[in-house]
Amino acid sequence: VRNYRRSPLRSNNSIKLSMTVCVIASTIPGISMNPI
């Protein structure tokens, strides 16, 4: 049961991490082009 609960958490974490990286990667060019 513990293994079953750990693995979705890890995959969910990596999904959030990759989404965060995508957001940051898409935000950086916008900031450099439009500094406010």
Domain boundaries, the chain: 1-26
Q: Determine the Cα–Cα distance for residues 8 and 4; give it in Å rounded to an integer.
A: 7
> How large is the average pLDDT for residues 9-22?
83
Q: Looking at the predicted structure, is the pLDDT value of residue 31 above 70? A: yes
Q: Looking at the predicted structure, is the pLDDT value of residue 4 above 80? A: no
Please report, for residues 11, 26, 33, 36, the alpha-carbon distance to residue 19 in angstroms, rounded to integers and kept in the order given: 12, 11, 22, 24
Q: Looking at the predicted structure, is the pLDDT value of residue 24 above 80? A: yes
Quick one: which of 24, 26, 27 has its CA closest to 16? 24
> How large is the average pLDDT for residues 5-32?
80
Q: Determine the Cα–Cα distance for residues 20 and 22; give it in Å rounded to an integer.
A: 5
- Residue 5's pLDDT is 61
